[in-house]
């Protein structure tokens, strides 16, 4: 790790002011940032510790939604009674990720802002446009088993590794941020971005902006939902492919459908056309197959990750079946029903 100074922020405004300066990073749980500093991928000259700021609570919103403080831990969020009861999809996705120890340290804001697990991004000996703009992408034509099949660019084919964010995308959460220029609210679909020709930008935060909270809408999925995560081990491993599904069933038909994929793109992947195709229909294997094809429209393998296209297709169909039947994937017993 390089040498740096450490400052514990007194409030968001002070942190935002300091964070806008070059080579300064916010420290929350540290489970991603400290790791990247050990690998010399991040070499900040100053850390601003935001983990003790007061936005660490979970609060009801007047309209029936729930506000998740950015500095609440992933564990406290997943095990919050209101999250368990009203947003079981979110609880399930968080518990599918990392380990109990990591979830105890990791914060909600940090989870959104965690960086890719692309091997080359971590390896400072190899070219990587995300780490070093203009140096090239080692994953294209290299080993890309964990890389994206959707929304890639010629500059970068990395994925966003979060599980929590996949559920937040399906729940259509909003991200509240505060920066030197004030506060704003970002729709979850607009928070993360595709790599395009600026792969070093993971999301749409501006310099100095801090995530202060994540707002969950009142409208949720409490009966017909699932988070299905497929990975190389049953636990403590990032997703190769994951699927978050929320359905509203009315009179045997799907009244509302929300789907998001993880492990396949630079952001949680949603396709409104696939959701529209499901709505108003009776669940059936045919319908789910069509929805899976619509979700994966334009998917391209990169070589060692070609398998992900078929894996994702089957995972989507399976997840839709689980959600429609009201039998969500258990994150304890890993048998996929």
Partner 1 sequence: MDHITGSQEQAAGTELPGIPITLTINGRKRELSVAPWVTLLDLLRERLDLTGSKKGCDHGQCGACTVLVDGKRINSCLKLAVAYDGAEITTIEGLAQGETLHPLQQAFIDRDAFQCGYCTPGQICSGVGLMNEGRASTRDEVRELMSGNICRCGAYTNITDAVMDVLEKEGAK
Candidate residues 69, 88, 97, 328; the one interacting with ligand FAD per rule CB under 6 A: 97
Candidate residues 16, 24, 26, 137; the one interacting with ligand FAD per rule CB under 6 A: 26
Two tokens, residue 160:
């966003």
Looking at 7-15, 112-120, 209-217, 254-262, which segment touches ligand SF4 (CB under 6 A)? Answer: 112-120
CB closer to ligand SF4 out of 46 and 117: 117
* Cα dist from 116 to 15, 100, 200, 264, whole Å: 24, 21, 11, 12
In the chain, DSSP assigns E strands to 5-8, 24-27, 46-49, 58-60, 66-69, 174-179, 182-187, 210-216, 224-230, 241-250, 253-262
Query: Is 128 one of the binding residues for ligand SF4 (CB under 6 A)?
Result: yes
Interface contacts to partner 1, rule CB under 8 A: 1-6, 8, 27, 30-31, 34-35, 37-40, 47, 49, 51, 75, 79, 98-102, 104-105, 119, 122-124, 234-236, 331-333
Edge-to-edge strand order for the sheet containing 210-216? 58-60, 66-69, 210-216, 174-179, 182-187
Two tokens, residue 273:
């056309």
Per partner kind, with CB cut-offs from 5 to 8 A, the member of ligand SF4, ligand FAD, partner 1, none near residue 128 is ligand SF4
Hey, is 175 helix, strand or coil?
A: strand
Interstrand relation of 253-262 and 210-216 (parallel, antiparallel or unpaired):
unpaired
Query: Is 114 one of the binding residues for ligand SF4 (CB under 6 A)?
Result: no
The residue number with the shortest CB distance to ligand FAD is: 110
Query: Is 211 one of the binding residues for ligand FAD (CB under 6 A)?
Result: yes
Greatest pairwise CA separation for the chain in angstroms: 62
Candidate residues 41, 89, 98, 155; the one interacting with ligand FAD per rule CB under 6 A: 98
Whose CA is closest to 324, among 245, 271, 227?
Answer: 245
DSSP state letter for 203: B
Per partner kind, with CB cut-offs from 5 to 8 A, the member of ligand FAD, ligand SF4, partner 1, none near residue 54 is none
DSSP state letter for 326: T
In whole angstroms, the minimum distance from the beta carbon of 90 to partner 1 comes to 17
- Given a contact cutoff of 8 angstroms between Cβ atoms, the answer to whether 112 and 175 are in contact is yes
In whole angstroms, the minimum distance from the beta carbon of 166 to ligand FAD comes to 8
CB closer to ligand FAD out of 53 and 274: 53
Candidate residues 26, 71, 120, 288; the one interacting with ligand SF4 per rule CB under 6 A: 120
Q: Please identify which residue in the block is written with the tokens 């804001």.
A: 109
Query: Is 35 one of the binding residues for ligand FAD (CB under 6 A)?
Result: yes
Sign of the CA dihedral with 176 first, then 173, 292, and 142 last: positive
Per partner kind, with CB cut-offs from 5 to 8 A, the member of ligand SF4, partner 1, ligand FAD, none near residue 158 is ligand SF4
Query: Is 66 one of the binding residues for ligand SF4 (CB under 6 A)?
Result: no
DSSP state letter for 128: B
Q: Please identify which residue in the block is written with the tokens 């500095």.
A: 71
Binding region for ligand FAD (CB under 6 A): 25-33, 35, 50, 70, 74, 97-98, 102, 105-107, 109-111, 113-114, 161-164, 210-211, 238
């Amino acid at each position: 790790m390089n040498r740096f100074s450490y400052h514990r922020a007194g409030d968001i405004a002070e942190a935002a002011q300091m964070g806008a300066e070059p080579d300064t990073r916010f420290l929350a749980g540290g489970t991603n940032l400290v790791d990247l500093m050990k690998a010399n991928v991040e070499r900040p000259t100053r850390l601003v510790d935001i983990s003790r700021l007061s936005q660490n609570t979970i609060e009801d919103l007047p309209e029936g939604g729930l506000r998740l403080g950015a500095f609440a831990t992933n564990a406290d969020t997943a095990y919050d009674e209101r999250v368990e009861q009203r947003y079981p999809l979110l609880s399930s996705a968080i518990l599918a990720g990392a380990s109990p120890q990591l979830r105890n340290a990791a914060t909600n804001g940090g989870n959104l802002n965690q960086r890719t697990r692309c091997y080359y991004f971590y390896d400072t000996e190899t070219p990587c446009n995300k780490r070093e703009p203009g140096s090239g992408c080692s994953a294209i034509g290299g080993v890309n088993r964990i890389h994206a099949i959707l929304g890639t660019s010629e500059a970068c084919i990395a994925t966003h590794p979060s599980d929590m964010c996949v559920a937040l995308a399906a729940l259509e959460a909003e991200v509240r941020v505060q920066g030197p220029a004030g506060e704003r609210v970002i729709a979850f679909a607009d928070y993360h971005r595709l790599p395009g020709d600026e792969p070093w930008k993971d999301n749409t935060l501006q310099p100095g902006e801090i995530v202060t909270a994540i707002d969950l809408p009142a409208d949720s999925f409490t009966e017909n939902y699932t988070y299905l995560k497929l990975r190389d081990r049953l636990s403590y491993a990032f997703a190769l492919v994951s699927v978050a599904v929320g359905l509203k069933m009315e009179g045997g038909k799907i009244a509302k459908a929300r789907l998001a994929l993880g492990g396949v793109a630079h952001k949680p992947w949603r396709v409104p056309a696939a959701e529209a195709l499901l709505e108003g229909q009776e669940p059936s294997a045919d319908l789910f197959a069509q929805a899976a094809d619509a979700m994966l429209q334009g998917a391209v393998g990169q070589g060692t990750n070609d398998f992900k296209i078929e894996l994702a297709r089957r995972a989507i169909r399976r997840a839709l079946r689980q959600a429609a039947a009201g039998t969500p994937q258990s994150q304890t017993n890993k048998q996929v029903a």
